[in-house]
Structure 1
Amino acid sequence: MTVSVQIVDYVEQGQSLYIQLKVVDAEAGTAVEGEVRFLGELLYGDLIHEKKSPLTDPARIETIDYLKTHFGR
């Protein structure tokens, strides 16, 4: 595993779930804080966006997998 995900806070509003998280990317040696949002089953946010994310690609994909599994979406 090249990533450590820490959920700082989250709030659910109807179909939306807003998540504040901290991600430690071991491959890049960086820690990033940000917010992502589930809208139904879809996950949005710059932190996990393919072109805008500051995370390495493996860490970004692991973060997405972790969030989908953790929140069952």
Structure 2
Amino acid sequence: MAASVQIVDYVEQGQSLYIQLKVIDAETGTAVEGEVRFLGELLYGELIHEKKSPLADPVRIETIAYLKTHFGR
């Protein structure tokens, strides 16, 4: 496992789900905090964006999979 994901807080408003999280990237040895948002089934946010994310790519993909599984979306 290349990522350790900690959910700090989340709030659901209609079809939107806002999630504050902290991800520890084992590949780079850094911890990154940020916010992502589910709009229906779609996940948005710079933290998981393919080009803007500060996370290593395998960690970013693992974080996305974890969030989708954890929140059932």
What TM-score bracket applies, with the shorter chain setting the length? over 0.9
Q: Structure 1, residues 10-64: CA drift from partner, whole Å, max 9, x if none?
A: 0000000000000000001000000000000000000000000000000000000
Q: 1:60: which partner in 2? A: 60
Amino acid at match of 1:2: A
State TM-score, norm by structure 2.
Answer: 1.00
Amino acid at match of 1:51: K
Unaligned runs of 5+ in 2: none
Q: 2:42: which partner in 1? A: 42
Amino acid at match of 2:27: E
In 1, distance between residues paired with 2:34 and 2:23?
8
In 2, distance between residues paired with 1:19 and 1:27?
23
Matches within 5 A, 1:1-73: 1-73=1-73
Amino acid at match of 2:63: T
Percent identity reads 89
Deviation at 1:5, TM superposition (A): 0.1
Which stretches of structure 1, 4 residues or more, deviate above 3 A after TM superposition?
A: none
In 2, distance between residues paired with 1:44 and 1:28?
23
Query: What SS class does the counterpart of residue 64 from structure 1 fall into?
Result: helix
State TM-score, norm by structure 1.
Answer: 1.00
| CA-atom RMSD in angstroms | 0.2
Aligned pair count reads 73
